[in-house]
Amino acid sequence: MTVTLDILPKPVVAMKDLTFTVTVSGKNLSAKPFIDLGMPGMNMGPNRVELRRVKDNVFQGQGVIVRCPSGRRTWRATVTLPQTGKVEFVFDVIY
């Protein structure tokens, strides 16, 4: 099974409306996945992106990555596939 995450528009800028797309291949999901956004090593509060099915095994949702005044730019998106597992993506954003 392969899970990919795409965030548009690029480059990914904090404090902008973003579209998150999760594509799953090799397994049919019965329930919709969701994404929890967080900063590694720093509790920024719960920031969940709810996804809706747009095609077979392609899910999309809107979200915002917030800006941390400390200047840290590394974020983590945890994609949860219900009854299957979790996948983490770590990436940098632009302020």
Partner 1 sequence: MSSTEPLYLTFLITGLTVGFGHCIGMCGPIVVSLSLNSKGSNLLFHHLLYHTGRIITYGILGGLAGTLGSLTILASSILSLQKGVLIFAGALILLMGLAMGGWIPSGRFFGGGDSSGGVLSKWFQRLSGAKSPVLFLPLGLLLGLLPCGPVYTALIASARAGMNAQTTLEAWVSGMGLMLAFGIGTVAPLVLVGKLAGLGWIKSRSLIYKTSSVLMVLVGIYFITQGICY
Judged by the rule CB under 8 A, the positions of this chain that interact with partner 1 are 15-17, 39, 42-47, 63-64, 66-71
Of 29 and 36, the one with the shorter C-beta distance to partner 1 is: 36
Q: Which amino acid is it at 61?
A: G
DSSP string over 2-27? EEEEEEESSS-BTTSEEEEEEEEESS
- Residue 14 backbone dihedrals phi, psi, to 5 degrees: -70, 155
Q: How far is the CB of 89 from partner 1 (least distance, A)?
A: 18
Of 24 and 93, the one with the shorter C-beta distance to partner 1 is: 93
Q: How far is the CB of 84 from partner 1 (least distance, A)?
A: 25
Q: Is residue 49 within 8 Å of residue 59, measured between CB atoms? A: no
Of 58 and 68, the one with the shorter C-beta distance to partner 1 is: 68
